[in-house]
A and B are shown apart, each in its own frame.
Chain A
Amino acid sequence: MQWEVVIGLEIHVQLATQTKIFSGTSTAYGAAPNTQASAVDLAMPGTLPVANEQAFRYATMFGLAIDAEINRRSVFERKNYFYPDLPKGYQTTQLAQPIVGPGHVDIRLENGAEKRVRIHHAHLEEDAGKSLHEDYHGMTGIDLNRAGTPLIEIVTEPDMRSAEEAVAFARKLHGLVTSLGICDGDMSQGSMRFDVNVSIRPQGTDQLGTRTETKNLNSFRFMEAAIHHEVERQIDILEDGGEIVQETRLYNGDRDESRSMRTKEEANDYRYFPCPDLLPVEIDDAFIDSLRSAMPELPDAKEARFKADYGLSDYDAGLLSNNAATADYFEATAKTGGDAKLAANWILGELSARLNAAELNIKQSPVSAERLGTLVQRIADNTLSSSGAKKVFEALWNGDEADVDAIIDREGLKQVSDTGELEKLVDSVLADMGDQIEQYRAEDDPKKRKKLMGGFMGPLMKASKGQGNPKLLNDILQKKLEG
């Protein structure tokens, strides 16, 4: 049977506010455990929450970016359950009246077609702390630094039909929230976490199958793998005549395994009710309009501009515009380098490959945009050959602190482009290669001629100590051989 995959996502996005959603404690990542946990965050008796206005601004900006209805009145509710890293014994979240109503995000598929993913709603809530199960001798350590970090939880409609679509959506969303500046987008620190709802149904049917939810996936790669894994698991069960159990599952990306966390029957009754410590929040048109007028350029607009202003291809413009940090890096590199296409090639080629291999994001790049720009400039003005450029890049990547030009001089990478000098060089090399010249001139097959031509370039480059401009050498050589 042909199966259709149906996917909906719930995405937790940590908002880049300075302080927590209900207290004045810093949200900075990486502090010693429990050093960023105030009396309010610890849920000490009598303490009370006060909502962070910046979190409302960020949530509203997100709503505007996805063309959603912004609810003028939103209500925090208590979601009750016991867990050691949930200090109050309830999570303060929004349910019936979230800040962001229905909206949509358009994604581009592999085949170039556009697809609309509908957003059901997005709501504000607080993050929990962390339970640390290792290194505590059979006990559990609790770190409440993260407790109270503001999140928006974005809930999509079940509009995606493959893991690839889900990843395309996730990347688009990542680009959106980072471009808005409402999230640092650092997935390794949990700034964006995905819950994936997956069901399958026979191709051509309308009714949704029973779904499972795989929780807390924090990379695009794991999300894609988890969906593939879950789809195969469900197909196996159904094709063996079994039934899918509605349940929450955990996926282990390192082992490509998943296990049931709890079934629907075991699910908590969260006993939601409006939080009496927080009044309903009313926002007005002026609040929304002020944010609307200050919205930064979003990826779609940026992509169009990159194509128009820099002459980039659809593909390059799409890749460079989706991530705000990458886009900024590109524009800075292009500005210094002067040649935008060359800058794009270097960023999407060599730099991306090296960053990926080192598991770094572009903000952590050891090569600054300015330095890469200078490198691009030296390639564009023929100072460097491509092999020379690679050597300079290598030095920059490894933290060489010298100027790009100083590295070129030091390493003797400056290309010789003086045609008079190069002509003398060609003459002297050809003088010892009479047999090969004869052979070349006698050859009629253009393919074979091209190959024989390569036989001259090696000795030429060697004679120029690798500094001859290969393009010019090639031109001169051709002229001499034909002559």
Chain B
Amino acid sequence: MHDKTVAELARDLEQGTVSSVELTRHFLDRIRQDDTRYNSFITVTEDEALKDAKAADDRRARGEATPWTGIPFAHKDIFCTDGVRTTCGSRMLENFVPPYDATVTARFRDAGAVCLGKTNMDEFAMGSSTESSYYGATVNPWGDNLVPGGSSGGSAAAVAARLVPAATGTDTGGSIRQPAAMCGITGLKPTYGRVSRYGMIAFASSLDQGGTMARTAEDNALMLNVMAGFDPKDSTCIDRPVPDYTANLNEPLKGLKVGLPKEYFTDQLDDRMAGQVRAAIAEYEKLGATVQEISLPNTHLAIAAYYIIAPAEASANLSRFDGVRYGYRCEAPKDLMDLYTRTRAEGFGEEVKRRILVGTYALSAGYYDAYYLKAQKVRRLIQQDFIEAFKSVDIIMGPAAPTPAFGIGSKTDDPVKMYLEDIYTIAINLAGVPAMSVPAGQIDGLPVGLQLIGNYFDEARLLNAAHQFQQATDWHTLTPAG
């Protein structure tokens, strides 16, 4: 049952061969048995899930089911869930129970989906390995000593381990695509503004985007059908019709123009990774795509610009965690300054504090022009690179991550090494275009992701290209031995 996709489970539910309560029990059992090993969940909401499953079965009996009614899944613990603790991976929110749903949460709820719990993540989504979580690191199902990537590592691991068929994620600099690649699943970061950010705890507001994580492109399409769309509560959410993302999955790829940025295929790229990616691209040529080299000339500036803009925004976004209204508060503060300093010193982890400091510095008087303003100029150049590229190609392809999953603890002492994990994903967030990671090979038995980058609001084309690849290959069906 747990090897089935969302699409298959939806058919089973529709045909009545299984009930939502049965499905929910089955996946909850798996979480209970196996997640002690992976630590992919921070909170499991067994009682709520069974209640929701019962309600879903009733709804189906009334003939009011949607494709998601009764489907178990999980939310990254960054999406606020009404009445259910939402920690964002931080001690700061250890006891925070929001009295409201994120728009994404509400949409799955309205569709009748059954949330089994909240998945682990790097603290405030700051990290590429899910090791900075206050609730302990998540383990990659492909190897007990390996990280799942991050920051949506809990969601990626839970899907890879078949603890849930699908999970939400968020992606600020690669936080969906990089863990999807390392866990051998399919993940999509939509166009900035496609999915509401309301109730999604902010890291870097101009870069954060909620997205989808599942085993197949088709399941990603089904998720996006629920998540995408205008939300009057988010001023940056774009009012634009939402297509049925499953409608074009079976379109042939003949004539698809694929661009390979020469900046991604340099001698910096690991030979074996390059080999895997090129093999996947050869598969696309077999499917009828034409391939050409393109240039994204400002690629080399992306990480520097990102590590100014994202921490700058984060430094302000995280100011609200002050111990005054909710969340962690230090014991017996002497005065206001003591309340602030100890609450924040004790409530935030090292990486979060590092980024607040970097961001605060970058915005300080006398440095603003040299750092923040310059980074914004670079950002526009990078956007321009993509706009130019999409004049001649339909999809840009490259690696999703520089390496397969790395060892737990192997990069925690060197933040810059960790930051370079996102070297192929960060520019996409700066530009705001959509991108996916699709399982496309293995190195030493560990999954490798192919990144597909689309033009603004071209998610349907990305999903179509990913689905066609998955019809021709079986990388996405490989299961970790555990």
A residues sitting closer than 8 Å to B (CB atoms) are: 39, 42-51, 78, 80, 82, 84, 87-90, 140, 142, 269, 271-273, 276-279
With an 8 A cutoff between CB atoms, is B470 at the interface?
no
Task: State whether A277 touches B205 (Cβ < 8 A).
Answer: yes
Task: State whether A48 touches B235 (Cβ < 8 A).
Answer: yes
Q: Report Cα–Cα, A364/B319, bound state, in Å.
A: 42
| Shortest Cβ distance from residue B42 to the other chain A in the assembled complex, whole angstroms | 15
Known: A45-B86, A46-B198. A276 touches B313 (CB 8 A): yes
Chain A residues with CB under 8 Å of B312's CB are 273
Q: Report Cα–Cα, A140/B327, bound state, in Å.
A: 19
Q: A45-B321, A48-B197, A277-B236 are in contact. List 17 more A-B contacts (CB 8 A).
A: A39-B99, A42-B325, A44-B80, A44-B98, A44-B326, A45-B93, A45-B201, A47-B198, A50-B232, A82-B340, A142-B325, A271-B360, A273-B372, A276-B204, A277-B202, A277-B205, A278-B235
Chain B residues with CB under 8 Å of A276's CB are 204-206, 236, 313
| Shortest Cβ distance from residue B76 to the other chain A in the assembled complex, whole angstroms | 12
Chain B, Cβ-Cβ closest to A270: B365
Known: A45-B201, A142-B324. A90 touches B319 (CB 8 A): yes
Known: A276-B313, A278-B235, A279-B236. A44 touches B360 (CB 8 A): no
Q: Report Cα–Cα, A278/B86, bound state, in Å.
A: 25
The answer, among A47, A142, A277, for a CB contact under 8 Å with B199, is A47
Known: A39-B99, A80-B319. A45 touches B80 (CB 8 A): yes
A-B residue pairs in contact (CB < 8 Å), sample of 30: A39-B98, A43-B320, A44-B99, A45-B80, A45-B98, A45-B202, A46-B78, A46-B80, A46-B201, A47-B199, A48-B198, A48-B234, A50-B232, A50-B235, A51-B235, A80-B316, A82-B322, A90-B316, A142-B325, A269-B365, A271-B316, A271-B363, A273-B312, A276-B204, A277-B202, A277-B205, A277-B235, A278-B235, A279-B235, A279-B236
In the complex, chain B residues 186-217 whose Cβ is within 8 Å of any chain A Cβ: 197-202, 204-206
Known: A43-B325, A48-B233, A51-B235. A269 touches B319 (CB 8 A): no
Task: State whether B336 touches A84 (Cβ < 8 A).
Answer: yes
Task: State whether A89 touches B235 (Cβ < 8 A).
Answer: no
Task: State whether A273 touches B368 (Cβ < 8 A).
Answer: yes
Q: Report Cα–Cα, A78/B201, bound state, in Å.
A: 18
Chain A, Cβ-Cβ closest to B100: A39
| Shortest Cβ distance from residue B80 to the other chain A in the assembled complex, whole angstroms | 5
User: What string of 1s and 0s marks CB contacts (under 8 Å) between B278-309 and chain A?
Assistant: 00000000000000000000000000000000
Q: Report Cα–Cα, A90/B360, bound state, in Å.
A: 13
In the complex, chain B residues 49-103 whose Cβ is within 8 Å of any chain A Cβ: 78-80, 86, 88, 93, 96, 98-100, 102
Chain A residues with CB under 8 Å of B200's CB are 46
Q: Report Cα–Cα, A80/B363, bound state, in Å.
A: 10
Chain A residues with CB under 8 Å of B198's CB are 46-48
Q: Report Cα–Cα, A119/B292, bound state, in Å.
A: 58
Task: State whether A273 touches B363 (Cβ < 8 A).
Answer: yes
* Tally of contact residues, B, Cβ under 8 A: 46
A-B pairs with CB below 8 Å: how many?
105
Q: Report Cα–Cα, A142/B336, bound state, in Å.
A: 13
With an 8 A cutoff between CB atoms, is B477 at the interface?
no
In the complex, chain B residues 340-383 whose Cβ is within 8 Å of any chain A Cβ: 340, 360, 363-365, 368, 372
| Shortest Cβ distance from residue A97 to the other chain B in the assembled complex, whole angstroms | 14
Q: Report Cα–Cα, A420/B141, bound state, in Å.
A: 116
Chain A, Cβ-Cβ closest to B372: A273
Chain A, Cβ-Cβ closest to B78: A46
Task: State whether B325 touches A45 (Cβ < 8 A).
Answer: no
Task: State whether B364 touches A84 (Cβ < 8 A).
Answer: no
In the A-B complex, the 10 residue pairs with the smallest Cβ-Cβ separation, listed nearest first, are A89-B319, A271-B363, A276-B206, A276-B205, A46-B199, A43-B320, A45-B201, A46-B201, A269-B365, A46-B80
Chain A residues with CB under 8 Å of B324's CB are 84, 87, 142
Q: Report Cα–Cα, A272/B320, bound state, in Å.
A: 16
Chain B, Cβ-Cβ closest to A90: B316
| Shortest Cβ distance from residue A23 to the other chain B in the assembled complex, whole angstroms | 10
| Shortest Cβ distance from residue A281 to the other chain B in the assembled complex, whole angstroms | 9
Task: State whether B197 touches A89 (Cβ < 8 A).
Answer: no
| Shortest Cβ distance from residue B305 to the other chain A in the assembled complex, whole angstroms | 14
The answer, among B202, B325, B336, for a CB contact under 8 Å with A46, is B202
In the complex, chain B residues 414-442 whose Cβ is within 8 Å of any chain A Cβ: none
Chain A residues with CB under 8 Å of B320's CB are 43, 45, 87-89
Q: Report Cα–Cα, A46/B96, bound state, in Å.
A: 12
Task: State whether A49 touches B235 (Cβ < 8 A).
Answer: yes
Chain B residues with CB under 8 Å of A39's CB are 98-100
The answer, among B100, B336, B364, B365, for a CB contact under 8 Å with A44, is B100
Chain B residues with CB under 8 Å of A51's CB are 235
Chain A residues with CB under 8 Å of B327's CB are 45
Chain B, Cβ-Cβ closest to A85: B324
Q: Report Cα–Cα, A272/B79, bound state, in Å.
A: 28
Chain A residues with CB under 8 Å of B93's CB are 45
Listed residue (A48, A84, A277, A279) with the most chain B CB atoms within 10 angstroms of its CB: A48
Chain A, Cβ-Cβ closest to B87: A45
Q: Report Cα–Cα, A42/B96, bound state, in Å.
A: 14
| Shortest Cβ distance from residue B430 to the other chain A in the assembled complex, whole angstroms | 13
| Shortest Cβ distance from residue B241 to the other chain A in the assembled complex, whole angstroms | 20
Chain B residues with CB under 8 Å of A273's CB are 312-313, 316, 363, 368, 372
Task: State whether A269 touches B364 (Cβ < 8 A).
Answer: yes
| Shortest Cβ distance from residue A198 to the other chain B in the assembled complex, whole angstroms | 25
Chain A, Cβ-Cβ closest to B319: A89
Task: State whether B232 touches A271 (Cβ < 8 A).
Answer: no
Chain A residues with CB under 8 Å of B78's CB are 46
Known: A84-B336, A271-B360, A276-B205. A89 touches B322 (CB 8 A): yes
Q: Report Cα–Cα, A84/B205, bound state, in Å.
A: 23
